[in-house]
Structure 1
Amino acid sequence: MLIRTVFLSLLVFLPLTSVALDVKQSRDGFSLEEDRDYASKAHYWGLLGGGEVTSWWSQNISRVMRTAVIPNRLPANTFERNESDWAKRLAEVTADTHLGTMTLAEAISDPRSAAKAMIVIHEGKVVFETYPGLRPADSHFWASVAKPTAALLIEQLIDEGKLSDSDKVEKYLPDFAGTALGDTKIVELMNMVPGTDTHDSAKTRQDPDSVATRYYLAEFDEAYKNGEVETVRDILRGAARTGPAGEVFEYSSGITQMLVFIAEAVTGRAWADAFDDRVWSHVRAEGALQMHLAPDGMAMAHGVVSSRLRDLARYGLLYTPYWSLVADRQIVSDAAMARIATPEYGQDVFMKGDGKRFSSYLGEIPVGNSRQWDAVYADGGMFKGGLFGQGLYVSPEKGIVIAYFSTVASSPLARFLRPLAKELSR
């Protein structure tokens, strides 16, 4: 336990900004010896700090974790391309990053960015695409960019009248009756304001006894203490109340998993099957969506999800008026989009908690977070990021989707999202 505490303490101060990775290696492939070595080190403690093990794991999760494969059931759409007018112009967009002021092209080529792939779509057309550390057909880790997938099934069930934002969790999950989370409303889960000790932060990740550390250990089938392996559901049932719900935005993967449990209870389907029926089977994707599973079969929709980068971009397009280019029906309703566009808890609640961190990360203060999206702007822009520098930005009105994949927590690419969107909106 002491070793783990010291290790996690070091992670808080780990100079991730100086990490440099040869991303070409992950594009060109690994040797047999490297595959075996990295696989043996792909445990929770070994992945938190980023680096070569994380870089390998983020493209090979199905080799070391249970995985539900959600197939692409429709012929893939073919994107029109308009790179001749835009690619050079976007490459020259500048942003102030922790690595200094640089152009997008410089940020992507800087090894400290560990930038593996990026795509920009404007009005349904590809205007920029690059794969310095990934082959286009390779699948990669979404990280927390996946969190809106859990929210999307809840949005659909709200649209269908099968549940309500104001309902308490215990209405659908009887085993949570009498617990802090059982007494929490669905809208409070959607917006990560539960007022419970489920917060996922640098501080909680350095505490081996925190709820956050325990539910991550459970997902990796690693013992919490005394050789016992818990389940995420059991851990969340034991979460305690820290204050009134609705007052502070506190980021939490465990809270996202509560949405998974609710969706399964209401649909009567395993989460991967429900997402297949309701979403992925209607997407004109190039490849399968890999939904990685905890040892007990729980779908880790909070982030342990993989797909091709273009398919992540297709998912982003579902939130725009250009959805018909990539799907055979509207999957994200106008009503759901209206709910996302207007944060229920506003900027004050956002900035009391993790909003400060996200605003610094993005370089611009949003209106707030909303329904599993990290940031929503007054002009409609929506952002969702991931732990190791993954990101998805959507500007619905302009039909802009930006998706990128890297493997360092301090990736500078997030600082380019708003400048790129503004350049495309001129």
Structure 2
Amino acid sequence: MASREPSWWDKQGDLIMRRPFNEWTFTHMNWLMPTERVARGATHLPLRADNRPLPVRYTFSGHEHTLAELHRRTFTTAFVVLHRGVIVHETYPGAFTGPRTRMQLFSLSKSVTSILVGIALDEGLIGSEKDQITDYRPDFLGTAYEGNTIAELLDMTTGVGDLETWEVPDSGIKRFEQTIMGGGDIADVVRAATRTAPAGERFNYSTFDTQMLGWVLEAATGQSLASYASTRLWQKLGCDRDAYYWLTRGRPRTAIGGGSLNATARDVARIGLLMAGDGVAGGEQIVSRDWVRRSRGNDKPQLAVGSLGPSGYDHYGYANQWWTLGSEHSGAFTGLGVHGQYLYVYPDAEVVIVKCSAWPTQDDARRDAETVAALRSVADHLARTR
């Protein structure tokens, strides 16, 4: 069969993510894709606000910068800072953003999926992290995922799949994206992934792993990702607005557990408060303290800060679908999404920071390092505040 030239339809993902369009698309994904609502509850728990300027300067690459410069240099669209549960600074530099705007969170969604798995384990709906994937999804028997455990999905050590790179046209992640946008069953793309390392030996950042995790969760709970997130998380957090997952265009339509959650920056901050507070929100233990502590890091050498290899930047480690920053950052950890989405949690200082962005590219090592330096400076400044 003769090959065809890529069409506009094949390149939708590239167009959606290109500046300056992405400032609009990242806040209007429900205009572009099918969606499923994550309903908030009848009880709203407002976040107390004491919004004020933050006279913080940070040093990056030998130069001092202000937060205004950070926002300009890293295309910030929303920036919300909480200290001791209070919004102390909030700004929306994005052209289409505000407190009620729902942001495309990309892979920050992975950290939410992890919380939901922790809740399902607490409820006994998932038996154990040591359970095999195929205990819940027997249709993956005979694929590279046969024999892998839920724990390996959580730490991205399955050994399945290639290096996740957006620049290679025929990479697994690009085929995944094109199938999401253009139709077809993404399960077929995931089933085609090959084993590239023994299970448990090395870290390989993988949206496929989190997609499997979301499918395991749905099979175990008998609910869609959006439905379970609503009853077990969104309603209990007293969120401002409904969130939503966008779904694949092809049928069976499915949420992307590793990248399709959209929510307001304030509601993302509520997730950070949950993690900073050892899994407690509104006086209720939503997810176990042990699960939250697991997300702050572990003793696996292949997941230590600086040891992730080509799948991660040197200043990160990994644990439980969260990026860890180690003792140099006093145990802070963060959820991350491409194009500059951050949920930075510094439990010891009771600081939570949400930064949404519209970078020109999916990944940018320099902008990431600058952002981490700035967030650390904000956290340190607040830690000194009494």
TM-score range (shorter-chain normalised) is: 0.7 to 0.9
Indicate yes or no: 2:127 matched with 1:166: no
Q: Deviations over 1:327-376 (max 9, x none)?
A: 463222112112222325335666454577433xxxxx34x211111224
Deviates more, 1:314-323 or 1:143-152: 314-323
For these two proteins, the number of residue pairs brought into alignment is: 368
Partner residue in 2 for 1:45: 14
Partner residue in 2 for 1:242: 196
Partner residue in 2 for 1:225: none
Residue 385 of structure 1: which of 336, 339, 352 is its match?
Answer: 336
Structure 1 residue 82: deviation in Å? 3.8
Partner residue in 2 for 1:153: 116
- Please list every run of at least 4 consecutive aligned residues from structure 1 whose deviation after the TM superposition is greater than 6 angstroms: 39-42
Indicate yes or no: 2:33 matched with 1:78: no
Q: Hey, what's the Cα distance between the residues in 1 that align with 2:107 and 2:294?
A: 20
Q: Deviations over 1:82-124 (max 9, x none)?
A: 445xx333xx2213069x541223222x2x4221110110111
Q: Deviations over 1:362-419 (max 9, x none)?
A: xxx34x2111112242332111111111111012233211001110044443331222
Q: Hey, what's the Cα distance between the residues in 1 that align with 2:279 and 2:150?
A: 27
Residue 375 of structure 1: which of 319, 324, 327 is its match?
Answer: 324
Structure 1 residue 207: deviation in Å? 3.0
State the TM-score, normalized to the length of structure 2: 0.87
State the TM-score, normalized to the length of structure 1: 0.79
- Is the CA contact (8 Å cut-off) linking 1:214 and 1:235 kept in structure 2? yes
- Is the CA contact (8 Å cut-off) linking 2:305 and 2:324 kept in structure 1? no
Indicate yes or no: 2:162 matched with 1:213: no
Q: Hey, what's the Cα distance between the residues in 1 that align with 2:283 and 2:33?
A: 31
Indicate yes or no: 2:211 matched with 1:257: yes
Q: Percent identity?
A: 27
CA gap 1:233/1:96 in 2 versus in 1, 3 angstroms: same
Indicate yes or no: 2:278 matched with 1:315: no
Q: Hey, what's the Cα distance between the residues in 1 that align with 2:36 and 2:102?
A: 14
Equivalent position amino acid for 2:168 in 1: D
Q: Secondary structure at the match of 2:344?
A: strand
Indicate yes or no: 2:279 matched with 1:298: no
Structure 1 residue 147: deviation in Å? 0.8
Structure 1 residue 180: deviation in Å? 1.3
Indicate yes or no: 2:54 matched with 1:88: yes
Partner residue in 2 for 1:335: 290
Q: Over aligned residues, Cα RMSD in angstroms?
A: 2.7
**Bigger proportion of residues as helix:** 1
Q: Which runs of 5+ in 2 are unaligned?
A: none
Q: Secondary structure at the match of 2:375?
A: helix
CA gap 1:397/1:333 in 2 versus in 1, 3 angstroms: farther
Partner residue in 1 for 2:106: 143
Q: Hey, what's the Cα distance between the residues in 2 that align with 1:387 and 1:97?
A: 22
Q: Hey, what's the Cα distance between the residues in 2 that align with 1:288 and 1:355?
A: 37
- Is the CA contact (8 Å cut-off) linking 1:58 and 1:140 kept in structure 2? yes
Q: Hey, what's the Cα distance between the residues in 1 that align with 2:200 and 2:143?
A: 17
CA gap 1:338/1:114 in 2 versus in 1, 3 angstroms: closer
Indicate yes or no: 2:92 matched with 1:131: yes
Equivalent position amino acid for 2:101 in 1: D
Q: Hey, what's the Cα distance between the residues in 2 that align with 1:307 and 1:196?
A: 30
Equivalent position amino acid for 2:194 in 1: A
Partner residue in 2 for 1:13: none
Partner residue in 2 for 1:416: 374
